[in-house]
Amino acid sequence: MKFAKLGKSGLTVSRLCLGCMTYGDKTKGWHGDWLLGEEESRPFFRYALEAGINFFDTANAYAGGTSEEITGKLLKEMARRDEVVVATKAYIPWRQSPNCGGNSRKSLMQAIDDSLTRLGMDYVDLFQIHRWDDSTPIEETMEALHDIAKAGKARYIGASSMYAWQFAKAQEAARANRWTPFISMQNQLNLIYREEEREMLPLCEDEGIGVIPWSPLARGRLARPSGGETVRSKTDGFGNTIYDDDDAVDHAIIGALEGIAEARGVKMASAGLAWHFTKPSVTAPIIGATKPHHIDDAVDALDIELTAEELTALEGAYRPKLPKAMGMPLPPMDKVSIIGK
Cα atoms in the Cβ-side hemisphere of radius 13 Å centred on 26: 13
Nearest to 20 by CA among 85, 103, 102, 79: 85
- CB contact burial 20-30 (16+ within 10 A = b; e otherwise): bbbbbbbebbe
CA 55/CA 51 separation, integer angstroms: 11
Q: Report angle CA 161, 332, 70 to the nearest 5 degrees.
A: 60
Are residues 157 and 189 in contact, defined by beta-carbon separation less than 8 angstroms?
no
CA dihedral 237, 238, 240, 243 (to 10 degrees): 180
Catalytic annotation, residues: 62
CA 189/CA 201 separation, integer angstroms: 10
Nearest to 324 by CA among 247, 223, 270, 257: 247
Q: Order of strands, edge to edge, in the sheet holding 85-90?
A: 210-211, 182-186, 154-160, 124-129, 85-90, 55-57, 17-19, 286-287
Helices 66-78 and 38-50, axial angle in degrees (round to 10) = 50
Which helix H or strand E contains 170, and what residues bound it? helix 164-177
For every residue of 229-295, DSSP letters joined together read --HHHHH-HHHHHH--TT-HHHHHHHHHHHHHHHHHTS-HHHHHHHGGGGSTTB---EE--SSHHHH
